[in-house]
Amino acid sequence: MSSLIHRSLLSQPTKAVACDGVYIIDSQGKRYLDACGGAAVSNLGHTNQAVIDAIDKQLHSVAYAHSAFFTTQALENLADLLTSLAPGMDKVLFLSGGSEANEAALKLCRQYYVESGEVTKSIFIAREQSYHGNTLGVLGIGGNEWRKKAFKPLLRDSHLISPCYEYRLKAEGESSYDYGQRIANELETKILELGAENVAAFIAETVVGATVGAVPAVKGYFKRIREICDQYDVMLILDEIMCGIGRTGSMFAYELEGIAPDMVTSAKGLGAGYQAIGALLCQDYITDVIRQTSGFFQHGHTFMGHATAVAGSLATLQYIQDNQLMENVNQRGKQLLNCLHSSLDSNPHVGDIRGRGLFIGIELVADKITKEPFPAELKVNKLIKSTAMEDGLMCYPMGGTIDGKQGDHILLAPAFIITESQIEDIARIISLVIEKVTKGL
Ligand SMILES: Cc1ncc(COP(=O)(O)O)c(C=O)c1O
C-alpha cells in the first residue's frame, strides 16, 4: 500500500514514466494518446523543448525570489505579454493554480468595494453546475453540488442562477437567442432579490468545462449579462481557467463574445503543465482605487509570481504565437467535430456533440429522443474512462452533467500541436469506446 493519498484510496493509478509529444508512456511501455491534456492543461504536448529550455535557463539564473523582496524579468515580461493578449485587461497577478486565482479575484473585488466606500457589497452570484475551484471560498460560491456536499457547514451560502445550457434547458419552440436572453435575465432577477447594494460580482466560466462538458453560451447571452452587470454596478468575473489561453479558438474565450469582463482568471494551459501557475487579470479602475486608498492588495502567497513558473508560462505563450498554433486549434477543432459527428451521430446513446476550438463535449444519454440520462448507479463515465485507458486513450469523462447527480459526458481537449491523423485516431478510439461501453449496459 502506497504512503501517498491518491485520489482513490482503493486503488493506485498507472505509473507514468515517460512522455513523447502527445503521448504518455507507462512503466509497461504502453502509450496513451492524450486527448484531454489531463484536465485541459497540456496544450503543447508533454515534451516541448522550448519550454523545457526556458525553465532550465531560469533555474540557472533565479529559480525563486520572494515577491515581497524582488521582481524578475520573466515576471515583468509575462505580465506585459498576457495583458497585451487580454482585451480590456490592464493588470495581472500570478498565482499557483486556478483555485488560488479565483480566491484572489473574490478578495480583490471585495477590497475594491470596501475601499471605494460600497462596504455592503459582499455577495457573489454564480451559476448552477459551475466549478470555480476546491478551496473553501470558491467552492462555496460555485454550483458543483457533489463537490460541496460534505463541506457545506464550512462554506458560505451560494446564490445561483441557471447555466446557459441550450441542449437541455431551451424551451420547445424558443429560439437560441431568446433562450439566452431569458436565462441572462435571471441575473437581474437575482440581483434585485438580493439588493444591488449587496451584490459584488457575478462569476461564470465563459465556456463551461468539466461540470457540463464544453458548453459555450448562446449568442447574445454574455452581452446581456454585461449590460445587467453595468446597470447594477456588479463586477463580471470570467473564469477562463479551463477554456482560456487558446483552448476555445481565441486567446481569451470572451473575445468571441464581444464583451470584456472586469476581471478574468486563468490557469491550466497558462503553464501547459510544465509548471503550476494561475493568473488574475483585471481592469485598471480596480487597482487605481486601491492604489489611491490603502496602497496594497491585502493578499499574498509564498509562491506568487514564482520565477520558474512564469518563465515556463512565458515560453508557452511565445511558442503558441511563434508557431501560429491558434490556426491549428481552429482547424483541428473543426476536424474533430466533423469526425465525431460522422462516427457518432447514428449512435443511439450520443445525445449531443458540442464545443469550440479544441474543447469538445460528448453528452451520453440512455434515450436520444427523450434525452433521459443513464441511471447514475451505472457510473457510465467511469466505465468510459477505464475502457479508454485500456484502449490507450486519455479522455476526461464526468458524471452529474445535468444536476450534479445525473448525466454523463466526455470532455476532449487535445494539445494544440495535435496532427490530422492523431485527430482521426482520437475520433476512432473514442467512438469504439462509447460503443463498447453502451452495448454492455
Ligand atoms: C473552471 C475552473 N475553475 C477553477 C478550477 C480550479 O483550478 P485548480 O484545480 O487549478 O485549483 C478548475 C479546475 O478544474 C476549473 O476547471
Confirm whether 39 is domain-assigned.
no
How high is the pLDDT of residue 1?
77
Does any ligand 1 atom lie closer than 6 A to the CB of residue 205? yes
Q: Is 352 in the pocket of ligand 1 (CB under 6 A)?
A: no
Q: Is the CB of 133 under 6 A from ligand 1?
A: yes
Beta-bridge partners for 202: 125, 236
Asked if residue 5 is part of any domain, the answer here is: no
Domain shared by 148 and 128, yes or no = yes
Residue 44 lies in a domain: no
At residue 230, the pLDDT reads 98
Candidate of 245, 268, 275, 396 to mutate for ligand 1, largest count of ligand atoms within 8 Å of Cβ:
268
Assess whether pLDDT exceeds 80 at residue 176: yes
Closest alpha carbon to 43 in 261, 386, 312:
312
Residues 413-427 have a mean pLDDT of: 98
Closest Cα partner for 415 from 423, 403, 407? 423
Distance 240 CA to ligand 1 centre (A): 9
Domain assignment present for residue 99? The answer is: yes
| Residue 61 lies inside a defined structural domain of this protein | yes
Percentage of the residues of the chain whose pLDDT score is greater than 90: 98
Q: Which three cell numbers stand for residue 385?
A: 474512462
If asked whether residues 305 and 332 sit together in one domain, one would say no
Which of 322, 353, 386 is the C-terminal boundary of a domain?
322
- pLDDT > 70 fraction of the chain, expressed in percent and rounded: 100
Q: 271-310: per-residue pLDDT in tens? A: 999 999 999 999 999 999 999 999 999 999 999 999 999 9
Q: Is 39 in the pocket of ligand 1 (CB under 6 A)?
A: yes
DSSP string, 281-296: EE-HHHHHHHHHTTSS
What pLDDT was estimated at residue 266? 98
97 lines ligand 1 (CB under 6 A): yes
State which ligand 1 atom lies nearest to the alpha carbon of 133. Answer: 6
* pLDDT tens-digit map of 200-246: 999 999 999 999 999 999 999 999 999 999 999 999 999 999 999 99
How large is the average pLDDT for residues 403-409? 96
Q: Are residues 311 and 355 in the same domain?
A: no
Q: Say if CB 135 and CB 103 are below 8 A apart.
A: yes
* pLDDT for the residue 58: 98
Does residue 138 sit in the same domain as residue 271? Answer: yes
Whether residue 40 is contained in a domain is answered as no
- Residues 181 and 233 both lie in one domain: yes
Mark whether 87 and 234 lie in a shared domain: yes
Atom in ligand 1 nearest the alpha carbon of residue 243: 1
Instruction: Please tell me the predicted confidence (pLDDT) of residue 197.
Output: 98
- CA pair distance 131, 242, nearest whole angstrom: 10
348 Cα to the center of ligand 1, angstroms: 32
Mean pLDDT of 245-256: 98
The predicted-structure confidence for 179-202, as pLDDT tens digits, reads as follows 999 999 999 999 999 999 999 999
Q: Residue 440's pLDDT is what?
A: 85
For residue 127, being part of any structural domain is answered with yes
Of 181-185, 311-315, 352-356, 436-440, which range is least confident? Answer: 436-440
Going by CA atoms, what residue is nearest to atom 7 of ligand 1? Answer: 98
Q: Are residues 154 and 297 in the same domain?
A: yes
Report which secondary-structure segment, H or E, holds 100: helix 98-115
Q: Ligand 1: which residue has its CA nearest to atom 10?
A: 98
Check whether 41 has a pLDDT greater than 80. Answer: yes
Structural domain ending residue among the three candidates 322, 352, 373: 322
- Is any atom of ligand 1 closer than 6 Å to the C-beta of 210? yes
* Residue 98 beta carbon below 6 angstroms from any ligand 1 atom: yes
In this prediction, residue 2 carries a pLDDT of: 87
The answer to whether residue 195 sits within a structural domain is: yes
Residue 29's domain comprises: 16-34+324-439
384-400: pLDDT as tens digits: 999 999 999 999 999 99
- In the chain, the number of structural domains is 2
User: What number is the average pLDDT over the span 164-183?
Assistant: 97
Q: What is the pLDDT, as a whole number, of residue 257?
A: 98
How confident is the prediction for the chain on average, in pLDDT? 97
Rounded to whole angstroms, the Cα distance separating 6 from 155 reads: 24
CATH (domain of 161):
3.40.640.10
Residue 433, domain CATH: 3.90.1150.10
**Ligand 1 contacts CB of residue 242 (under 6 A):** yes
Q: What's residue 400's pLDDT?
A: 96
Ligand 1 centroid to Cα of residue 315, in Å, is 22
Task: Please indicate, yes or no, whether residues 278 and 414 belong to a single structural domain of this protein.
Answer: no
Q: Which atom of ligand 1 is nearest to the CA of 240?
A: 1
Query: How crowded is residue 324: how many other Cβ atoms within 10 Å of its Cβ?
Result: 9
Task: For residues 114 and 214, state if they share a domain.
Answer: yes
Pocket test for ligand 1, best of 41, 99, 205 (most atoms within 8 A of CB): 99
Asked if pLDDT for residue 370 goes beyond 90, the answer is yes
Residue 265: which pLDDT band, with cuts at 50, 70 and 90?
very high
Paired strand residues for 350: 364
The answer to whether the beta carbons of residues 307 and 58 sit under 8 Å apart is: yes
Judge if the beta carbon of residue 239 lies within 6 A of ligand 1.
Answer: yes
Q: How far is the CA of 133 from the centre of ligand 1 (A)?
A: 5
- Residue 276 alpha carbon, nearest atom of ligand 1: 10
How many A from CA of 135 to the centre of ligand 1? 10
- Do residue 279 and residue 344 come from a single domain? no
Is 103 near ligand 1, meaning CB less than 6 Å away? no
Shared domain for 213 and 358, answered yes or no, is no
- Please tell me whether residues 199 and 129 are part of one structural domain: yes
| Ligand 1 proximity of 209 Cβ (cutoff 6 Å) | yes
pTM of the complete model beyond 0.85 = yes
Q: How far is the CA of 246 from the centre of ligand 1 (A)?
A: 16
pLDDT digits (tens, 9 = 90+) for 312-341: 999 999 999 999 999 999 999 999 999 999
Residue 132 CB less than 6 A away from ligand 1: yes
Cα 242 to averaged position of ligand 1 atoms, centre (Å): 7
Q: Confidence band (pLDDT; 50, 70, 90) for 252?
A: very high
Cβ neighbours of residue 277 closer than 8 Å, sequence gap 6 or more: 94, 95, 96, 97, 267, 270, 271, 306, 309, 310, 312, 313
- Determine if ligand 1 sits within 6 Å of the CB of residue 135: no
Q: How far is the CA of 396 from the centre of ligand 1 (A)?
A: 14
Domain boundary among 289, 322, 355: 322
